[in-house]
A and B are shown apart, each in its own frame.
Chain A
Amino acid sequence: MAVEDYVDAGVAVGQANLGEVPGKAPAVAKDVTYERLLNARSEPQNWLTYYGAYDGQRYSPLDQINTENVKRLAPAWVFQAGSVGMHAGPSTYSFEAAPIIVDGVMYLTGWDGWVWAIDAKNGDELWRYKHAVPYDVSLCCGNVNRGAAVAQGKVFVATLNAHVMALDAETGHAVWDQVYGDVRAGESATVAPLVIKDMVIVGSSGGEFGVRGHLDAFDIETGERRWRTYMIPKPGEAGFETWPQDGEAWQRGGGNCWITGTFDPELNLLYIGTGNPCPDFDGEVREGDNLYTDCVVALDADSGEIQWHYQYTPHDLWDYDSTMENILFELDGRKVLAHFDKNGYFFVLDRTNGELVSVTPFVDRIDWGEIDANGKVTPKRYPEKEGEPVHFYPGPAGAKEWTHAAYSPKTGLFYVPVQDVGATATRRRREFKESIPYWGAGVQVDAEDHAGSISAFDPATGGETWRWKRGLPMCASVLATAGDLVFAGEPTGEYNALDARTGEHLWKFQCGSGHHSSPTTYSVDGRQYIAVPTGWGAWAEGFLPGMLGARQGASLVVFALPEE
Chain B
Amino acid sequence: MSQTLSQSDQDSVAEGLAKQNGSTLGRLLGRGSIGHAESGSDGKMRAKVRIEPDELVWEPSIIVMPHGGDLELELTNDDLNTHCAVLPSNGDSQFIWLVNHSRGVAHLDLDGPGYYWFGSRSGNDEGRGLTGAIVVLGDTPEEARLDRPAQPRP
B partners with A: yes
Interface 9-mer from A123-131, A297-305, A519-527, A544-552: A123-131
A130 with B93: CB separation less than 8 A: yes
Q: State whether A134 and B101 are in contact (beta carbons under 8 Å apart), knowing that A86-B131, A434-B153 are contacts in the complex.
A: no
Query: Is the C-beta of A435 less than 8 angstroms from some C-beta in chain B?
Result: yes
Bound state CA distance, A10 and B103, in angstroms?
Answer: 7
Tell yes or no: A342 within 8 A of B by CB.
Answer: no
**Contact, CB under 8 Å: A434 / B152:** yes
Q: How far is the CB of B2 from chain A (nearest CB, A)?
A: 30
> Which single residue of chain B is at the shortest CB-CB distance from A7?
B102
Q: Which residues of A contact B121 (CB under 8 A)?
A: 85
8 Å CB interface, B109-150 against A: 109-119, 121, 126, 131, 133, 136, 139-141, 143-149
Are B146's CB and A134's CB within 8 A? Answer: no
Whether A251 and B148, one on each chain, are in contact in the complex, defined by CB atoms closer than 8 angstroms, is yes
Q: Quick check: which of B10-18, B37-45, B54-62, B82-90 contacts chain A, the rest being far away?
A: B82-90
Q: How many A-B residue pairs have CB under 8 A?
A: 168
Whether the Cβ atoms of B111 and A182 lie closer than 8 Å is no
Known A9-B77, A11-B96, A173-B91; judge A135-B114 contact (CB<8 A). Answer: yes
Known: A11-B107, A182-B140, A212-B148. A18 touches B113 (CB 8 A): no
Question: Which chain A positions have C-beta within 8 A of B140?
Answer: 162, 179, 181-185
Q: What residues of chain B lie closer than 8 Å to A180, measured between beta carbons?
A: 144
Beta-carbon contact of A9 and B153 below 8 Å: no
Could you tell me which residues of chain A, from 1 to 41, have a CB within 8 Å of some CB in chain B? 1, 3, 5-16, 18
Q: What's the Cα separation between A211 and B144 when bound, in Å? A: 13
Cα distance A181–B140 in the bound complex, in angstroms: 8
Q: Is B94 on the interface with A (CB-CB < 8 A)? A: yes
B residues contacting the other copy or chain, number (CB 8 A): 57
Q: Which residue of A lies closest to B76 (CB)?
A: A6
* Interchain CB contact under 8 A, A85 and B119: yes
> Known: A182-B140, A212-B146, A252-B151. Is A15-B101 also a contact (CB below 8 A)?
no
Please give the distance in Å from A117's CB to the nearest CB on chain B. Answer: 14
Whether the Cβ atoms of B115 and A12 lie closer than 8 Å is no
Q: Is B63 an interface residue (CB 8 A)?
A: no
Per the 8 Å Cβ criterion, residues 125-156 of A in contact with B are 128-137
B151 touches A12 (CB 8 A): no
Rounded to whole Å, the gap between the CB of A188 and the closest CB of chain B is 11
Q: Which A residues touch B114, using CB under 8 A?
A: 134-137, 161, 183
List of A residues within 8 angstroms of B149 by Cβ: 248, 251
Q: Which residues of B have CB within 8 Å of A5? A: 101
- Among B88, B102, B139, max chain A CB count under 10 A is at B88
Within 8 A of B (CB), among A429-461: 431-436
Contact flag A435-B154 (CB < 8 Å), given A11-B106, A12-B94: yes
Q: List A167-190 residues whose CB lies under 8 Å from chain B.
A: 173-174, 177-185, 187
A residues with CB within 8 A of B: 1, 3, 5-16, 18, 84-86, 128-137, 161-163, 173-174, 177-185, 187, 210-212, 214, 225, 230, 234, 248, 251-252, 431-436
A-B contact pairs, 7 of them (CB 8 A): A12-B94, A132-B89, A178-B144, A179-B140, A211-B146, A212-B146, A252-B151
